[in-house]
C-alpha cells in the first residue's frame, strides 16, 4: 500500500488552474522530494493532502484512506509542518506540544513521555520551559517537527520546512528528517525549491506550473533528461525561463 497516492488531482482558483491532473504515489518508509519553483503548486497540493482544501477533482489517499471520504482516518496518519510558523509565541515549548497532544486525545501522563521523546529526537531536549518566542527560527522549526511527530504518524508532510533559515539550520533539519526515515521507518514528503536539498538517492516529484514533469528516482530523472545532475535536469523540465537559474541554498 502506498503511503500517499495522488490520482488525477486538479485544482483551480477561479479561472487560474493551480494543479492539472496531478498523479503520483510514494512508498512507505521513503524520503520523497516535491521539487518545484515558487508558484508551481506545491503549497496547493499540500493544502489538498492535509484537507485544508476540499478535493473536487481526483482522489488523495493516505495509506489507503481517502482524504475526502474518511478524512479522520487519513489525517490521523499525517504529521504536517506548514511553511508558515504556527507556534504560539506566548506559550512555552511544553505548552505548545501539550495542546497539540490534547487535540489528539493523548492523556497528560503519556503526553509528557511523548513530548520528552520527540524533543530528544529533534535534538531539543531540555527546552521544555522555554517560551517559543525565545527560540531561533531553526529551533522553532524543530519544535514544529516534534509537534508533528507527537501522535506517531507514519507520514510526514513538510512544506518548505527550511524557508528563511541559515545554511547550518537547513542542513541540520534536513539531516534530522532523513535520520527519522531511516531509523523509524516513517515516510517523509519534503517540498522545496532548493536543489541542494535533493540527494541522488531520493525519489523526486518535479512539479512545474501545476503539472508533474517527472516522477522517479533522481538518478533516473537525470538520465532521462540527458543532464549532468538534478539541477540541470530541473532546468530542462521547467518551462519558466527563470528555471535556468536554479536556486541553491547559500
Q: How far is CA 81 from CA 69, 135, 149, 239, in A?
A: 23, 17, 10, 29
pTM for this prediction? 0.91
pLDDT tens digits, 178-196: 999 999 999 999 999 999 9
Q: How far apart are CA 58 and CA 69, in angstroms?
A: 12
Q: How far is CA 102 from CA 99, 108, 127, in A?
A: 5, 8, 20
With cell 508533474, the residue in question is 212
Axis-axis angle for helices 137-149, 108-121 (nearest 10):
130
pLDDT of residue 84: 86
Q: Per-residue pLDDT for 245 more than 70?
A: no
Q: Per-residue pLDDT for 244 more than 60?
A: no
The domains of the chain, with CATH numbers, are: 27-54+71-77+155-250 (3.40.50.300), 82-152 (no CATH)
Going by pLDDT thresholds of 50, 70 and 90, the confidence category of residue 250 is very low
Contact 209, 233 (CB under 8 A): no
Cβ neighbours of residue 196 closer than 8 Å, sequence gap 6 or more: 248, 249
Sign of the Cα pseudo-torsion (217, 219, 225, 228, in order): positive
Contact 101, 42 (CB under 8 A): no
pLDDT tens digits, 197-220: 999 899 999 999 999 999 999 999
pLDDT tens digits, 13-28: 999 999 999 999 999 9
pLDDT of residue 193: 93
Contact 33, 203 (CB under 8 A): yes
Provide the Cα torsion 24, 83, 186, 150; round to 10°. Answer: -140
pLDDT tens digits, 67-102: 999 999 999 999 999 988 889 999 999 999 999 999
Q: Identify the weakest region by mean pLDDT among 12-21, 174-183, 235-244.
A: 235-244
pLDDT tens digits, 114-173: 999 999 999 999 899 999 999 999 999 999 999 999 999 999 999 999 988 889 889 999
pLDDT of residue 247: 53
Of 95, 92, 23, 15, the C-alpha closest to 57 is 23
pLDDT of residue 166: 87
Amino acid at each position: 500500500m502506498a503511503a500517499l497516492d495522488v490520482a488525477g488531482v486538479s485544482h483551480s482558483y477561479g479561472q487560474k488552474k493551480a494543479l492539472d491532473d496531478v498523479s503520483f504515489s510514494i512508498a512507505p518508509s521513503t524520503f520523497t522530494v516535491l521539487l518545484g519553483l515558487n508558484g508551481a503548486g506545491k503549497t496547493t497540493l499540500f493544502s489538498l493532502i492535509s484537507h485544508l482544501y476540499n478535493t473536487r477533482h481526483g482522489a488523495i489517499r493516505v495509506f489507503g484512506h481517502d482524504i475526502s471520504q474518511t478524512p479522520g482516518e487519513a489525517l490521523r496518519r499525517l504529521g504536517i509542518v506548514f511553511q508558515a510558523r504556527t507556534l504560539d509565541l506566548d506559550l512555552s515549548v511544553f505548552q505548545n506540544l501539550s495542546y497539540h497532544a490534547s487535540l489528539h486525545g493523548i492523556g497528560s501522563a503519556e503526553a509528557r513521555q511523548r513530548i520528552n521523546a520527540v524533543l530528544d529526537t529533534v535534538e531539543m531536549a531540555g527546552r521544555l520551559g522555554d517560551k517559543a518566542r525565545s527560540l531561533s527560527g531553526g529551533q522553532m522549526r524543530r519544535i514544529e517537527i516534534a509537534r508533528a511527530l507527537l501522535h506517531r504518524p507514519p507520514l510526514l508532510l513538510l512544506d518548505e520546512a527550511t524557508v528563511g533559515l541559515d545554511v547550518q539550520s537547513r542542513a541540520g533539519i534536513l539531516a534530522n528528517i532523513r535520520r527519522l526515515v531511516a531509523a523509524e521507518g516513517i515516510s517523509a514528503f519534503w517540498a522545496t525549491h532548493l536543489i541542494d536539498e535533493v540527494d541522488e538517492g531520493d525519489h523526486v516529484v518535479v512539479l512545474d506550473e501545476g503539472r508533474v514533469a517527472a516522477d522517479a528516482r533522481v538518478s533516473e530523472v537525470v538520465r532521462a533528461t540527458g543532464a549532468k545532475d538534478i539541477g540541470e535536469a530541473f532546468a530542462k523540465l521547467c518551462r519558466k525561463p527563470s528555471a535556468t537559474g536554479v536556486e541553491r541554498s547559500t
